């Protein structure tokens, strides 16, 4: 297969691996990918995935790849908090939640990191659609906050949030959020509820 034909097949995908290629060319040989990589036509991404060399690497692209590299998963924790402008700086790489074991993939754009939770806690995310072929799953603000608190038991007081530098103004919506209470009931964890109380005291300070 010539590269131009290959490019026309994969250009609508955010990225591809050998299994994606063999769906339209069952006899495709992996060394061809190495050859195109050496020629500068494609670039390795992470976890056996590749991208076209001229693919723009945006936040949305990295979020899509985070979902694709390790499924089921959704973007959450620091990456989601930065997306909602709760933390003041952008986060290198992408942090996600998955029902599979904790995992991490390295790339030229930082780490794709996945924290493990029970399958019952895989809820509270939305799908952001860029186009019919491009979309990503990301935690809603309430769930991103609860995911973070759930996985950080060292938070024991309202003062602990000072070190996190979470923006109070952007978090004020949580004070009246019925969704936060609904999600907290699903977790059904007393220790998590206590951390949420600390968060509310931090917001009231």
pLDDT in the model for residue 205: 74
Asked if 98 and 51 count as a contact pair (C-beta separation under 8 A), the reply is no
pTM of the complete model: 0.93
Q: What are the distances in angstroms from CA 147 to CA 95, 125, 176?
A: 11, 11, 19
Strand partners, 115: 97
Q: Cα separation of 182 and 92, whole Å?
A: 31
- Asked whether the predicted pLDDT for residue 187 surpasses 90, the reply is yes
Q: Express as a percent the part of the chain with pLDDT over 70.
A: 100
**Taking the domains of the chain in order of start, what are their residue ranges?**
3-52, 59-204
* Tokens coding 67: 């979902």
Write out pLDDT tens, residues 17-42: 999 999 999 999 999 999 999 999 99
Class of domain 3-52: mainly alpha
Write out pLDDT tens, residues 62-95: 999 999 999 999 999 999 999 999 998 777 899 9
CB-based contacts of 33, cutoff 8 Å, min separation 6: 18, 21, 42, 50
Q: How confident is the model at residue 185 (pLDDT cuts 50, 70, 90)?
A: very high
Q: Cα separation of 18 and 144, whole Å?
A: 33
């Amino acid at each position: 297969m010539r590269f131009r034909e290959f490019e026309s097949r994969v250009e609508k995908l955010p990225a591809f691996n050998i299994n994606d290629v063999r769906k339209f060319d069952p006899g495709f040989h992996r060394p061809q990918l190495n050859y195109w990589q050496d020629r500068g036509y494609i670039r390795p991404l992470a976890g056996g995935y590749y991208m076209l060399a001229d693919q723009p690497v945006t936040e949305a692209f990295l979020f899509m790849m985070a979902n694709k590299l390790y499924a089921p998963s959704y973007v959450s924790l620091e990456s989601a908090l930065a997306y909602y402008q709760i933390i003041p700086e952008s986060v290198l790489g992408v942090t996600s939640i998955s029902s599979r074991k904790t995992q991490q993939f390295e790339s030229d754009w930082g780490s794709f990191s996945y924290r493990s939770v029970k399958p019952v806690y895989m809820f509270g995310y939305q799908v952001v659609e860029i186009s019919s072929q491009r979309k990503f799953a990301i935690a809603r603000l309430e769930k991103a906050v609860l995911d973070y608190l759930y996985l950080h038991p060292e938070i024991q007081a309202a003062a602990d949030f000072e070190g996190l530098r979470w923006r109070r103004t952007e978090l004020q919506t949580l004070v009246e959020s019925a969704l936060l209470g609904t999600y907290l009931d699903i977790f059904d964890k007393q220790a998590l509820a206590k951390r949420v109380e600390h968060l509310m005291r931090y917001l009231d300070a």
